[in-house]
């Protein structure tokens, strides 16, 4: 449960960084982690990952998710500050071995984290475990992917790249 909660938590608070003070976001994140683990205790079924999936869904919107309310209250961050900076209809499913999300009632469900096991193998010691993280998920794009679309622009903070090709000086 630990890694799944961490993935969901990091995804949610990624919307809050650069919008709220970092210290407040960190405290909110700590409280959200506690609230999620408390909620999921007794409702975590690794042998049947989709059992209780709706219960383990964290949602923004109306009504406000009690887990978000608790984390906001315990951290001292007004719930309105949290909700204003999260997508209006965000749903994050935290299931054993998988974390996925959807933005909007009709949005596509995207996987943030998946730990797939080969269920056809009888010997559990020899089972191959695949852990994946979806770089296409919103807010988690690697800098190389962002930089590829910038053409000749430099990602270096020190020296801007010239849009004109550099040639050797004539001698």
**36 occurs within a structural domain:** yes
* Model confidence pLDDT, tens digit, residues 148-163: 555 555 544 555 555 5
Cα 102 to the center of its chain, rounded Å: 11
Reported pTM? 0.68
How far apart are alpha carbons 101 and 164 in whole angstroms? 43
Q: Is the pLDDT of residue 131 over 80?
A: no
**54 occurs within a structural domain:** yes
**165 occurs within a structural domain:** no
**65 occurs within a structural domain:** yes
pLDDT at 166: 54
**What six digits make up the tokens of 20?**
């709220």
Alpha-carbon torsion angle 34, 3, 82, 58, nearest 10: -90
**91 occurs within a structural domain:** yes
**100 occurs within a structural domain:** yes
* Model confidence pLDDT, tens digit, residues 36-53: 999 999 889 899 988 988
Domain extent for 12: 2-145
**156 occurs within a structural domain:** no
Confidence of residue 132 (pLDDT cuts 50, 70, 90): low
Query: Residue 115: in which H helix or E strand, if any?
Result: strand 110-117
**24 occurs within a structural domain:** yes
């Amino acid at each position: 449960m630990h890694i799944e909660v961490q993935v969901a938590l990091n995804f949610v608070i990624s919307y809050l960084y650069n919008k709220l003070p970092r210290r407040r976001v960190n405290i909110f994140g700590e409280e959200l982690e506690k609230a999620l683990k408390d909620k999921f205790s007794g409702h975590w079924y690794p042998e049947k990952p989709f059992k209780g999936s709706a219960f383990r869904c964290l949602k923004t919107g109306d009504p406000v998710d009690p887990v978000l309310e608790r984390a906001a209250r315990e951290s001292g961050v007004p719930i309105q500050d949290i909700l204003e900076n999260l997508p209006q209809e965000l749903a994050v499913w935290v299931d054993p071995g998988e974390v996925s999300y959807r933005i909007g009632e009709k949005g596509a469900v995207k996987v943030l984290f998946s730990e797939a096991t080969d269920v056809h193998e009888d010997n559990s010691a020899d089972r191959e475990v695949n852990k994946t993280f979806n770089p296409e998920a919103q807010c988690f794009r690697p800098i190389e992917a962002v930089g590829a679309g910038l053409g000749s622009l430099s990602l270096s903070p020190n020296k801007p790249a010239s849009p004109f090709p550099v040639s050797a000086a004539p001698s």
